[in-house]
Structure 1
Amino acid sequence: MPATPSQQGVDDVSERTQENRSEGQSPATKAGRRLAAQLAAQKAAEAKRRRQAWAGGLAGVAVMALLIGGFVWIDSKRDDKPSTASGANPSASAAAPDAPTAPPALQLPEGSDPALGTKPTVKAGTGELKKLTVTPMIKGTGPAVKKGQNITTNYVGVFYKDGKEFDSSWNAGQPVTFPIGVGQVIPGWDQGLVGVTVGSRVQLDIPGELAYSNDEAKAGGRPAGPLRFVVDVLAAQ
């Protein structure tokens, strides 16, 4: 049933009142909401910028830490490498301080036989040895050895009867120097080497009485009986 005029009027008034109320409150409410939304957006953006700045700072610190660590590692690697002086031979620096050194090269007389640079093989003698016997093996071209001179020699000594070696300057790696003809060596050397020319190799067959003795007790631990030496005369002065 249609509303009565009076009722219709009441309803119209009520609707207008609600519209007016709504129109009166809407602008303020919308402005407040927009302001609140803007403030919230600004706060959110500021928080995001702070997070990004914090993350960027941490990343920068991490990068710097990695770079510093890398430099330290490289320097430690450099420190681990052995340093050598300029022009130094790396292989020489590896040698131990107490390592044995090679003996100096043998200096042979000028114009001498190259065989003097090699240790001779000495064999046993034959028969009974009754006197000093000097047998030239290589004839040197230098001056003759004189009594009282200091001579430099290489030698091998063996027992005359069996050829067993008991002494050798070759084993020590260098020649020996001593005065000759003045009683500083056994009589067989004093007598047998005077007059031998420098650069010579001679064989000395020495009976026990001109060596250390035929009696082991008198020899005092040195080789007793007849001996054979092969001697290279390298210098005399």
Structure 2
Amino acid sequence: MRLDLPCLGVFFLSVIPVNASIRERLSYQGLFGCVHSGLLDHTGCHHFLRTDSGMEKTKSLIARIQFGKFFAILQSYANKDHFNYVQFSNQAVKMNQDFLEIKRLVESIPEHDDLASELSFPSHMFQLMAHSATFLKDTSNDKSRGHLSVYHLIDLSVRILALHNVRGVLDSTNSISEEKIISLHRELRELVSTFVHDGDSESIMNWMFQDLAIQAEQDLQKLWQQVSVHGIACLSKTDQQKCIQLP
């Protein structure tokens, strides 16, 4: 099976455990191919998921593959000088539809009902991004504010996706994972603070991204509770940037 890695960049590589056996690696590749095919062969995908003995180790793989694909799309937009609002909005809508399709597939497998909880966060985010992109298209005459808001939207969205991707590997306490978590936590908190506490009440970001920022903050707190269990803590809730490694 050929892996279309450019679609996911390094994300697919990051979801395969380093110590996975050959059979486990083939299972990951099979699941990747099943999802990446666009779920055209529903029967085949259903059979693969039902019979995969390594499913416990791939608990969040489906969601993370989809995150990786969307991350790659966001990155491609972030690297463009001209932002296509309509294309971005349509892409967000399509990704939300694809995501819900995967969620329905997973929920149809009795042995893996617990996967449904892994897929609850992104749906509202895709919808909000589609709505926001449409709004930005309508206000694109205000070049300076529209341009700034678009890149803040991309920046925050990419970090939320990356944060959720890291959440799936919290069973590992290696230093690299810890550094990633701390770094993402710090940067995302700074963005959330900017959106929620912007002094300009007329700012587009102040109201358009408020719900997304609040959701990000809630997810951040949930993540931080998990991280703390693994030996990382911050000095205070008001200054989360000063993080320390517990003995």
TM interval, short-chain normalised: under 0.3
Given the two structures, how large is their TM-score scaled by the length of structure 1?
Answer: 0.19
Given the two structures, how large is their TM-score scaled by the length of structure 2?
Answer: 0.19
Larger radius of gyration: 1
Whichever structure has more helix as a proportion of its residues is: 2
Instruction: Tell me: higher relative CO, structure 1 or 2? Use CA pairs within 8 A at least 6 residues apart.
Output: 1
Whichever structure has more strand as a proportion of its residues is: 1
